[in-house]
Amino acid sequence: MQPIIPYYGSVTKCEEVPITFPPQHQNRQPGLEYMMNPLPIYDNPNYIGTGKLKHKTAIITGGDSGIGRAIAVAFAKEGANSVLVYLNEEQDARATKEAVEKLGRKSLLLPIDLREKKAAEQIIAQTLKAFGSINILVNNAGVQFPQPSIEKITDQQLETTFDVNIQSFFRLTRAVVPYLRSGDSIINTTSVQAYAGSGQLIDYASTKGAIVSFTRALAHNLAGKGIRVNAIAPGPIWTPLQPASWSAETVKTLGANTPMKRSGQPYELAPAYVLLASEDGSYITGQTIHVNGGQTMTS
Ligand code: NAD
Ligand code: MG
C-alpha cells in the first residue's frame, strides 16, 4: 500500500510532508537540527493561536530542537513565554528563540546539563528572574543509544539514559511543583517505546515506561491542588534524535512500519501539548496521548 502523501500549509504555500529521507548520520548526541536534510517541519501556518496560554510561562527541556521547538512555537502562538533548556546546541536554540520572538513572545535560553544535580535549582532561579512565575513544565529532553543486545548496554550508557530520560524529569518536577498553582500543568514526553518496545532500545524503553508510571502517580498526588500531569507518547518523528542515534540506512525509511507508512513531523505533536497545557484539557490528568501514526494498533 502506498502511503497517502499529506500536505500542510495554506492554499498559496502548500508543501509535501516527506515520506522517505536521504541517508544521513550525525556522529554526536544530541543531534543538530540545522544539519538535517530535509529540515524538520516545526510550524503549521494553518495553526492559528487564540490566546489559550496568555500570560503563561513554560519551561521546556530539550526545547531547542525537534518536538521541543514545535512546542515552543505553538505555545508562543497561544501567548506563552518559554524557557528552553538544552545541552549545548546553541545554533538550534537561537533559531527557536528567533521563531518564538517573531511571534511576539519571549524566550530564555538555558544551556544546562540536566544530569547535574543542581540543574533544577538553576533553571528555576533563572525562570523566576526572567518571568516571575512558572505555569507549565514540559519534561521533554531525551537520549537513545540503540544496541543489538542487552549485553552491549554498558553501566555508563544505562546511567546516562536513566539520568537524562527519567531522573532529570523527577528532579526538575520536584523543584518546580512548589511554584505551580491550580490550573497549571506538567507534561512529560514518553514514547511509543513504552508500549511497543524495541529490541534495540531496551534501556530507553525502560525509561519511557517509567515516565508513564511517574505521570500517573504524580497526577494522583497533585490532583487535589488542581495541577494536572499528563504524557505524550510520540511514534517515529523526524527530529535530530533520529540521525544522531540510527544508522544512515535506517533513517531512510523512518516511520514506514506505521499504519500511516510515514514518520511524523514535529508540528504534528504540538497541538496535543497545547491541549494538555491549556484550560481545554481541564478534565484530563494522568493520561497519555499517543501521536504515532497508529503504530500501537499493530503492536
Ligand atoms: P531532539 O534531539 O530534538 O531533542 C532531545 C533534546 O534533549 C535535545 O535537544 C537536547 O538538548 C536534550 N538533551 C539531551 N541530553 C541532555 C542533557 N544532558 N541535558 C540537557 N538537555 C539534554 O529530539 P526529539 O525527538 O525532539 O526528542 C524530544 C523527546 O521526544 C525525547 O524525550 C525523545 O525521547 C522523545 N521521543 C522522540 C521520538 C522521535 O521519533 N523523535 C519518538 C518518541 C519519543
Ligand atoms: Mg537539540
pLDDT confidence of residue 98: 98
Question: Is residue 251 a part of any domain in this protein?
Answer: yes
Ligand with minimal distance to 109 CA: 1
Q: Which long-range contacts (CB under 8 A, 24 or more apart) does 177-182 make?
A: 177/222, 177/227, 179/124, 179/128, 179/133, 179/134, 180/134, 180/135, 180/137, 180/222, 180/225, 180/227, 181/135, 181/226, 181/227, 182/225, 182/226, 182/227
Task: For a ligand 1 pocket test, name from 84, 239, 268, 289 the mutation site with the most ligand atoms within 8 angstroms of its C-beta.
Answer: 239
Question: Is residue 279 a part of any domain in this protein?
Answer: yes
Ligand with minimal distance to 143 CA: 1
CATH value at residue 77: 3.40.50.720
Residues 187, 269: Cα–Cα separation, whole Å: 13
H or E segment at 222?
A: helix 202-222
Name the residue with the closest Cα to ligand 1, atom 32.
142
Cα torsion through 37, 262, 292, 201, rounded to 10 = -70
Residue 27: pLDDT over 90: yes
Question: Is residue 231 a part of any domain in this protein?
Answer: yes
CA of 24 relative to ligand 1 center, distance in Å: 18
Q: What is the mean pLDDT of the chain?
A: 95
Q: Which residue range is the domain that position 125 belongs to?
A: 53-291
Residue 198: pLDDT over 80: yes
- pLDDT tens, residue by residue, 62-93: 999 999 999 999 999 999 999 999 999 999 99
Total tally of structural domains belonging to the chain: 1
| Amino acid letter, residue 132 | G
Q: What average pLDDT does range 169-198 have in this prediction?
A: 97
Cβ neighbors of 94 (< 8 A, separation 6 or more) are 109
Question: Which sign, positive or negative, has the C-alpha torsion 155, 66, 244, 3?
Answer: positive
Question: Is residue 281 a part of any domain in this protein?
Answer: yes
Residue 16: pLDDT over 90: no
pLDDT confidence of residue 183: 98
- Residues identified as active-site: 204
pLDDT confidence of residue 17: 86
- What confidence category does residue 286 fall into, taking pLDDT thresholds of 50, 70 and 90? very high
Among 12-21, 179-188, 221-230, name the one with the lowest average pLDDT: 12-21
Length of the chain in terms of residues written: 299
Which atom of ligand 1 approaches the CA of 89 most closely? 11
Q: Is the peptide bond between 45 and the residue preceding it cis, with omega within 30 degrees of 0?
A: no
| Amino acid letter, residue 174 | R
CA of 242 relative to ligand 2 center, distance in Å: 11
pLDDT confidence of residue 3: 63
Residue with cell 505521570: 215
Q: What average pLDDT does range 241-263 have in this prediction?
A: 96
pLDDT confidence of residue 173: 99
Question: Is residue 46 a part of any domain in this protein?
Answer: no
- Report angle CA 60, 194, 4 to the nearest 5 degrees: 85
pTM recorded for the entire structure:
0.97
**Greater pLDDT, 135 or 45:** 135
**Greater pLDDT, 18 or 110:** 110
Name the residue with the closest Cα to ligand 1, atom 6.
62
Question: Is residue 19 a part of any domain in this protein?
Answer: no
